[in-house]
Amino acid sequence: MLIKCPECGKENISNQAVACPKCGYPLKAATIEATGKRYKGRQVMGALAIVVGFILIVTDHFAIGVVLLILGLFDIIMGYVGAWWHHG
**Binding residues for Zn ion (CB under 5 A):** 5, 7-8, 10, 20, 22-23, 25
Burial of 72 (0-12, 13-18, 19+ CB in 10 A): buried
Task: Specify whether the CB–CB gap between 67 and 47 falls below 8 A.
Answer: no
Determine the longest span between alpha carbons in the chain, in angstroms.
Answer: 60
Q: Which is nearer to Zn ion, 22 or 38 (CB)?
A: 22
Q: Which is nearer to Zn ion, 12 or 59 (CB)?
A: 12
Shortest Cβ distance from residue 25 to Zn ion (Å)?
4
CA–CA gap between residue 20 and residue 63 (Å, rounded): 51
Shortest Cβ distance from residue 10 to Zn ion (Å)?
5
Shortest Cβ distance from residue 16 to Zn ion (Å)?
15
Q: Which is nearer to Zn ion, 24 or 41 (CB)?
A: 24
